Structure 1
């Protein structure tokens, strides 16, 4: 079994899901007392978020690159960033280490293509929806990627940052997000990407008829495929 490298802390709720699901997946696949081999470091979410808001991406890249080098030194064979938003500096992190970064956007794109989709919607943080660093990477796989109208960004961002990252999962928020997913389907999206780990705490495939693509779940599956190959 290869060792999976993780950079977490963005948020810790997200990182806990990655750690739990990687170990559950390893046990399910291999049986017995099997657990995943993981080398993990966790950054301060408040620090990197403040730098994001200042558009100081060089400093964010340095923090995550330092974390990546530490994970590599701990024996990781490849690296996952347990976040969507901070994939903004994934290329800089990759340049700073000698092990491959398993890029979340590539994993999601392959899953969408496996469902023979041509158009897919992304929901996530305001930053991920309003910038193109993540959607462009998905689109490079031949997919048309759309995001919700700007009027929907603020309330969705509030649910993520003021509720979900603190472990608050509210039915009222679930209903609002489900309605948004259904609206995107009506507008022509063949599926909807949950482009933020915390959204997977709120919405499940059983909540909607629209095909959804939970980024973290797909990322974990790809990591286990790589680790156990």
Structure 2
């Protein structure tokens, strides 16, 4: 099994989901007492949040690059940023380490295509929805994207940082997010990407008014596929060796 390095803590509420779901998937695939080989570097989100508010992207690039380097030096064979927004720093992370980055947007695009979706509504922080680093990457993979108007984007963003990243999940915010999803569906979205790792905790995919791709679930699927790729190869090799021995 390959060892993954998670850049976590942004927020810790969703990092718990990553840790739980990766381990659950590995146990389901391999059985018995198997669990995932994970290195987790969990930051103090207050430091990152201060830089977000100041839009100090150079500072965030440096912080996440240093985290990725610690993980790789500790034995991680690939890294994954356990948050959607901070993939804005993905190029800096990729440049800082000699290890692959498992990108959350690629994971969402893969799942959308597998499920037959061509137009994704994207809900996340204001930067995720409006800055292009996220939607442009989806568009480049043949997935059309829709986002709310700017005023609604700011409302979605405020709920994320005033509530969700602090572990607050209210019925009022849930109802508002569902209403926004309905509007995006009316505009032509055939699915919605829950492109903030805490949104799935507020509006589980089964509660959404249109098919929903939880970014955590998509990312975890890609991470586990990478982690077990060598395991599959080794299992096949062992099976072949046994077959030859039987002959």
TM-score between both structures, scaled by the size of structure 1? 0.96
SS of equivalent to 1:160: helix
**Aligned equivalent of 1:85:** 85
Which residue in the other structure is 2:243 paired with? none
| Equivalent residue, structure 2, for 1:43 | 43
Q: Aligned residue pairs: how many?
A: 229
Distance in 1 (CA, whole Å) between partners of 2:137 and 2:208 is 26
Measure the CA separation in 1 of the matches of 2:3 and 2:221: 14
Match of 2:136 in 1: 136
Q: Distance in 2 between matches of 1:208 and 1:42?
A: 30
3-state SS of 2:32 partner: coil
Say whether residues 1:97 and 2:94 are aligned partners: no
Aligned equivalent of 1:212:
212
Aligned to 1:114: 114
**Could you tell me how far 1:147 is from its partner in structure 2?**
0.6
CA contact (8 A) 2:120 2:145 kept: yes
Partner residue of 1:163? 163
The structure whose Rg is larger is: 2
What is the DSSP-based 3-state SS (H/G/I as helix, E as strand, rest coil) of the residue aligned with 2:67? helix
Aligned to 1:19: 19
Tell me, yes or no, if the aligned pair for 2:18 and 2:82 is still in contact at 8 Å.
yes
- Cα distance in 2 for partners of 1:58, 1:222 equals 28
* Alpha-carbon distance between aligned partners in 2 of 1:9 and 1:204, rounded to the nearest angstrom: 21
Structure 1 stretches of 4+ moved >4 Å: none
Q: Shift in Å at residue 53 of structure 1? A: 2.4
Comparing 94-103 with 145-154, greater Cα deviation is found at 145-154
CA distance in 1, matches of 2:133, 2:155: 22
How far does residue 185 in structure 1 lie from its aligned partner after superposition? Answer: 0.8
Q: Please tell me whether the aligned partners of residues 26 and 35 of structure 2 are also in contact (alpha carbons under 8 angstroms).
A: yes
> Deviation at 1:179?
1.4
Q: Which runs of 5+ in 1 are unaligned?
A: none
Secondary structure (helix, strand or coil) at the match of 1:76 reads coil
TM-score of the two chains, using structure 2 as the length reference: 0.89
